[in-house]
Amino acid sequence: MIEKAEALARELNAPFVPRRQHTLKTLLKKYEAQGVLVVGREGLRYTAENQPPLFYHPGMALVRIRSLLNGGTDPMLEVSGASYGDSVLDCTAGLGWDALVFSFAVGESGSVTAVESSPLICVIAREGLKTAATGLSEADEACRRIRVVQGNHLEILREMPDKSADIVYFDPMFEKAVMASAAILPLRFHACHDPVSEEAVRHAIRVARKAVVMKNSPGNESFSRLGFVPAHTGPTVSYGVIRVANAPNG
């Protein structure tokens, strides 16, 4: 555990400090730190003043996977046309909730790369997915198959060859939170709030073989601004799609 904490400290360019019997409040004050990332037997947990703690959990992805196992449908999968064996690039991974549903859908023959710009969120998601114990073997296996990458999705898209992924997916941080749950709130403190750029969408269209998909709040102007066709509208979440020329219908 100490070796892991030291490695993460180097990765995040943060000091490694044995906790001993110190409270987190004491550590924050002593080191004048913005936050403390605790490496423990339960996984990683980030705590900061006046913020809810940030740690890995599967969120609603587990509920969605259970529904799929019981013969249900998932709007994101239907809109994207994701199927077994597909490769998916999730450009805005967060804690990997949508990436997890994609990973379940594309199976062992597929691949999911989850890109997250925040080094802190990336580390928590990556390490959490490695060890997640959801109580559902299919979900645990899907967790392990996700490749988590820290970086700027535009820079990554620029370097990718044409037609090198089946689906490119965007889930930018909503301008207004539509879920007041404790699951979403911690992410809003650390996630990138920049809107998806026109250049990123152009590269996504070049990279995708089947479709480019965006999730956003209902009525968000980003769909029309970036050329997405509304494909599913729910009470709190909508999906838009750009079908790539010559791709089979999803």
**Domains of the chain: residue spans and CATH:** 2-50 (no CATH), 61-243 (3.40.50.150)
H or E segment at 113?
strand 111-116
φ, ψ for residue 5 (rounded to 5)? -65, -40
The three-state secondary structure class of 165 is strand
Q: Are β-strands 43-48 and 54-55 bridged in parallel, bridged antiparallel, or unpaired? A: antiparallel
In tens, the pLDDT along 41-52 reads: 889 999 988 888
State the pLDDT confidence band at 250, using cuts at 50, 70 and 90.
very low
Residue pair 44/127 in contact by the 8 Å Cβ criterion: yes
In tens, the pLDDT along 193-235 reads: 688 999 999 999 999 999 999 999 887 888 999 999 999 998 8
Nearest to 142 by CA among 196, 65, 88: 65
Res. 135: pLDDT tops 90: yes
Cross-strand partners of 46: 37, 54
**Torsion, CA 96, CA 75, CA 167, CA 231, rounded to 10:** -130
Nearest to 89 by CA among 99, 78, 81: 99
In tens, the pLDDT along 73-93 reads: 999 999 999 999 999 999 999
Q: Cα–Cα distance between 200 and 91 in angstroms, integer?
A: 10
Q: Cα–Cα distance between 196 and 187 in angstroms, integer?
A: 17
